[in-house]
């Protein structure tokens, strides 16, 4: 075989035709000739040609029979075949093309025609291969990005859940353990054909992931109740019970701003029903038996088991055996008997299995919905109305695009992925999840000590972002998040917090967010004051140019202020 030349095999029982082809094509291709179909298949065990020229009228095995064998063999099915025939018969041509031939050339053929047809189909085949490689590469990249999105989604949800638990003086291990227990319990139920039909309709991975949010409503409960070391009063217990309703409300708010419906269906069912009891004496609705969603009946058991076997502010941990006895006592009153029986049957597995929760990423989900969820939860605790996250995203997009043409910023901004910047920006106030509701929602001015506590949300937010980063291998969507979170309260003249950065020493992300954050805060109602008009806000921002804000960014903002005013109208209708 001649190196660097395409291998062409010609199959024809006429030796004259083979010699003509060899003489016409040998200077251009590495040409191999064989006199029959059987000889062709012997040859194909040794080489894989780029193209086959195949005569139709041959004894023993005609061309149609040869191409049928070629196309059913995975190794040879992709090789393009051009039929050579003396027949001028449309029906024969159609038959050959239906069997997989790429072309049909009638004999006698000219050298120029044959070469052009061969080159055409070699080019097509080459393009197909390149397209396939590109497709596989693209699929691989999309797969990586999908996994990255889901890793980030799960990490953010986990951090939110851990923050809820930290406010209750419980380690984040509660989330890991209950996730593991609920997957284990689901697997055992299916194994014993208990509720298997209903469970078969679930996306188990999404269900398990959503279980992390079963106590998200605790964000709304006062710290002094959540962390009380003694027994709760009747009034305090009523407030604790409200976390189930609050959790559903938070999730419903998220539903209004996202298409992530399946995940949220599981989350709402878990948040709202995991404190219901089989005999109807639970809360918040007093549901009974199978009126309680199966999701809640499962979580009720694993939540109690984990609570019993771990320390709480008001009690020391029970042993596994003591916890099992308590669950047995609650079988048929607190817990669904069928679920409790399976749990008790497999209680050793729950005690002995090392907890390493799986992260399964079979479904592609939009990370924006997760960040919307974060924004809504933060907003709920900060007294912001629904829609503030979308407004902020639109404000930032307008300002970034305006700055893209500014000579002082265009080089840096040209390196940004704007979509990632806008998504990351939703995390800028995530540290407020560590600030008490009493301070966040105080209707009057903050004391100096309270303001110092508020200021801590910046460093706390950076710690959260860093924790998310530690759990996610691919970090592109978080490239801006840490800068935004840590610097959006710095001021141009160096009087901001937490580090007193000054001028261009403040990351550009933070300088942009500073104006947008102030604009949205001033034009929205807050617990301690009523909103200001668009015009009043413009004057405040204009007066802060060169002290609070970067003057160049203020100029870009003022040049586009009418768009900001339009956005307020569009998002508050």
CA distance 111 to 25: 8
Find out whether 49 and 28 touch, Cβ atoms under 8 Å.
no
CA distance 100 to 93: 11
CA distance 439 to 461: 17
Torsion on CA atoms 232, 236, 237, 243, rounded to nearest 10? -130
Q: Which of 111, 41, 115, 354 is nearest to 103 (CA)?
A: 115
Q: Which portions of the chain are predicted below pLDDT 70?
A: 1-3, 87-88, 130-173, 220, 222-223, 253-261, 313, 353-389, 433-434, 436-437, 468-477, 479, 527-528, 569-573
Give the CB-side neighbour count of residue 210, counting CA atoms within 13 A: 27
pTM, rounded to two decimals: 0.48
Residues paired with residue 529 on neighbouring β-strands, in sequence order: 526
- State the pLDDT at residue 443: 76
Query: How, if at all, do strands 103-106 and 81-85 pair?
Result: parallel
CA distance 370 to 252: 14
Distance from the Cα of residue 112 to its chain's centroid: 56
Find out whether 20 and 61 touch, Cβ atoms under 8 Å.
no
**Cis, peptide link before residue 381, omega less than 30° from 0:** no
Sheet arrangement for strand 81-85: 30-34, 7-11, 51-55, 81-85, 103-106
Domains of the chain by range and CATH?
7-135 (3.40.50.2300), 167-352 (1.10.3210.10), 383-572 (1.10.3210.10)
- State the pLDDT at residue 23: 86
Q: How far apart are the first and last CA of the chain?
A: 75
Distance from the Cα of residue 77 to its chain's centroid: 38
Q: Which residues have CB under 8 Å from 425's CB, separation 6+? A: 392, 393, 396, 480, 481, 484, 509, 513
Query: 């999701």: which residue's tokens?
Result: 295
Find out whether 200 and 146 touch, Cβ atoms under 8 Å.
no
Which tokens is 163 given?
């923050």
- State the pLDDT at residue 384: 53
- State the pLDDT at residue 310: 84
Find out whether 490 and 500 touch, Cβ atoms under 8 Å.
yes
The crossing angle, in degrees rounded to 10, of helices 37-44 and 63-72 is: 20
CA distance 116 to 100: 20
CA distance 519 to 505: 22
Find out whether 567 and 387 touch, Cβ atoms under 8 Å.
no
Q: Which of 242, 194, 162, 187 is nearest to 434 (CA)?
A: 162
Which tokens is 482 given?
């840490």
CA distance 178 to 212: 8
| Tens of pLDDT, residues 182-209 | 999 999 999 999 999 999 999 898 888 8
Query: 């768009």: which residue's tokens?
Result: 563
What are the CB-based long-range contacts (under 8 Å, 24+) for 66-70? 66/11, 66/37, 66/40, 67/96, 67/99, 67/100, 67/101, 68/99, 69/37, 69/41, 70/100
- State the pLDDT at residue 470: 66
Query: 């924006």: which residue's tokens?
Result: 368
* Cα 481-483-486 angle, rounded to 5 deg: 105
């Amino acid at each position: 075989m001649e190196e660097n030349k395409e291998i062409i095999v010609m199959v024809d029982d006429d030796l004259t035709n083979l010699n003509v082809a060899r003489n016409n094509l040998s200077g251009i291709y590495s040409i191999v000739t064989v006199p029959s179909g059987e000889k062709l298949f012997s040859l194909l065990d040794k080489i894989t040609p780029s193209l086959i020229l195949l005569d139709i009228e041959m004894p023993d095995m005609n061309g149609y029979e040869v191409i049928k064998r070629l196309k059913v063999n995975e190794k040879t099915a992709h090789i393009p075949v051009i039929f050579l025939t003396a027949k001028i018969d449309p029906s024969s041509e159609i038959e050959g093309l239906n069997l997989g031939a790429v072309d049909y050339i009638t004999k006698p053929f000219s050298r120029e025609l044959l070469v052009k047809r061969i080159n055409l189909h070699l080019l097509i085949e080459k393009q197909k291969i390149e397209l396939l490689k590109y497709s596989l590469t693209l699929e691989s990249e999309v797969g990586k990005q999908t996994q990255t999105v889901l890793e980030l989604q799960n990490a953010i949800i986990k951090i939110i859940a851990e923050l809820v638990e930290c406010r209750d003086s419980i380690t984040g291990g509660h989330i890991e353990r209950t996730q593991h227990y609920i997957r284990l319990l689901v697997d055992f139920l299916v194994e014993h054909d208990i509720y298997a039909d209903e469970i078969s309709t679930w996306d188990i991975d999404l269900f398990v992931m959503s279980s992390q949010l079963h106590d998200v409503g605790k964000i709304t409960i006062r710290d002094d109740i959540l962390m009380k070391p003694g027994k709760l009063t009747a009034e305090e217990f009523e407030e604790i019970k409200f976390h189930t309703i609050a959790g559903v409300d938070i999730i419903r708010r998220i539903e209004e701003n996202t298409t992530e419906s399946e995940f949220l269906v599981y989350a709402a069912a878990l948040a709202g029903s995991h404190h219901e009891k089989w005999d109807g004496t639970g809360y918040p609705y007093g549901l009974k038996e199978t009126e309680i969603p199966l999701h809640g009946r499962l979580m009720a058991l694993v939540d109690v088991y984990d609570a019993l076997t771990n320390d709480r502010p008001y009690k020391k941990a029970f042993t596994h055996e003591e916890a099992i006895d308590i669950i047995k006592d609650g079988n048929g009153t607190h817990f669904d008997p069928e679920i409790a029986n399976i749990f008790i049957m497999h209680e050793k597995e729950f005690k002995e299995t090392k907890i390493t929760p799986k992260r399964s990423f079979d479904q592609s989900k939009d990370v924006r919905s997760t960040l919307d969820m974060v924004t809504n939860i933060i907003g709920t605790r900060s007294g912001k109305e629904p829609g503030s996250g979308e407004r902020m995203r639109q404000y930032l997009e307008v300002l970034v695009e305006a700055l893209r043409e500014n000579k002082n910023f265009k080089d840096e901004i040209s390196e940004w992925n704007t979509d990632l910047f806008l998504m990351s920006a939703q995390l800028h106030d995530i540290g407020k999840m560590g600030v008490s509701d009493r301070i966040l929602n105080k209707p009057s001015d903050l004391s100096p000590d309270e303001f110092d506590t508020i200021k801590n949300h910046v460093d706390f937010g950076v710690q959260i972002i860093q924790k998310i980063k530690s759990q996610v291998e691919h970090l592109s969507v978080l490239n801006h998040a840490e800068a935004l979170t840590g610097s959006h309260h710095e001021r141009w003249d160096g009087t901001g917090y937490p580090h007193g950065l000054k001028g261009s020493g403040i990351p550009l992300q933070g300088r942009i967010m500073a104006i947008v954050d102030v604009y949205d805060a001033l034009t929205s109602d807050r617990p301690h004051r009523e909103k200001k008009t668009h015009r009043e806000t413009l004057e405040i921002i204009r007066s802060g140019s060169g002290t609070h804000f970067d003057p160049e960014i203020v100029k870009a903002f003022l040049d586009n202020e009418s768009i900001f005013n339009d956005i307020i109208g569009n998002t508050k209708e």
